[in-house]
Structure 1
């Protein structure tokens, strides 16, 4: 499971669809609807929130916005009717780590997008996240 800290417009089609599916799984985990993945480190930032289901639903709404922009049809009715109104912090080190991880994937599966992104200097976070100074997040598995 990878719940990207990066802005979803960096993702290729395959990555965006995978993020949506994994995010829906994460929502079910946070709602207690599944027994698996309950301790997955990618869920840490959402579990630390006062409203974990609202946090993941808000995260996924931004993913669906990117899908809409591309002309895809992600089923928003699958999202719980909860949300958060504040940003979640993400460290600059985490964004850099994930961006390099994404570039490695794109180099193979989407070379055109890789060429566009490899010169990016200022990495934008997911719209729900706010960049703060810091190293790679403690929950990241290296």
Structure 2
């Protein structure tokens, strides 16, 4: 499971679809509707949020917005909470780590998407996240 902290517009088609599915799985985990993935490190920041379901709903809505922008049809009805607008924090180190991780994936999987993000000078976080100073997050498995 990878719940990207970077903006979803950096993802290629395969990555965006995978993110949607994985974030929906994360929502099920946070709702207590699955026995798997309950201790997955990527869920730590959502579990620690004051409103975990509101945070994952906000996350999912931004993934849907990116999908809509590309003409994809993700089912918004799968997002469990309507109206919640949450924000979480993420470190600059985490954003840089994930951007480099994605760059390596895209270099192999989608050279056109790789060429597009290679030109990036300022890495945008997923809109759920507010950027602050710091190294890679403790929960990240490097």
TM-score normalized with structure 2 length: 0.97
Count of residues in Structure 1 that have an aligned counterpart in Structure 2: 142
Unaligned runs of 5+ in 2: none
Q: Does the aligned pair in 1 maintain the 2:8–2:66 contact within 8 Å?
A: yes
1:138, distance to aligned residue in structure 2 (A): 0.2
1:115, distance to aligned residue in structure 2 (A): 1.1
Q: Does the aligned pair in 2 maintain the 1:55–1:83 contact within 8 Å?
A: no
Runs of 4+ deviating beyond 6 Å: none
Unaligned runs of 5+ in 1: none
Secondary structure of 2:89's counterpart equals strand
CA distance in 2, matches of 1:38, 1:46: 12
Instruction: Flag the 1:103–1:113 CA change in 2: closer, same or farther, 3 A.
Output: same
CA distance in 2, matches of 1:102, 1:126: 14
- 1:51-105 Cα distance to aligned partner (Å, 9 max, x none): 1111101100000000000000000111112454342100000000000000000
Aligned to 2:79: 79
Aligned to 1:9: 9
Aligned to 1:101: 101
CA distance in 1, matches of 2:70, 2:108: 22
CA distance in 2, matches of 1:73, 1:25: 18
1:44, distance to aligned residue in structure 2 (A): 0.7
Alignment of 1:27-106 (within 5 A): 27-82=27-82, 84-106=84-106
* Alignment RMSD (CA, Å): 1.0
Alignment of 1:100-139 (within 5 A): 100-139=100-139
Instruction: Flag the 1:28–1:86 CA change in 2: closer, same or farther, 3 A.
Output: closer
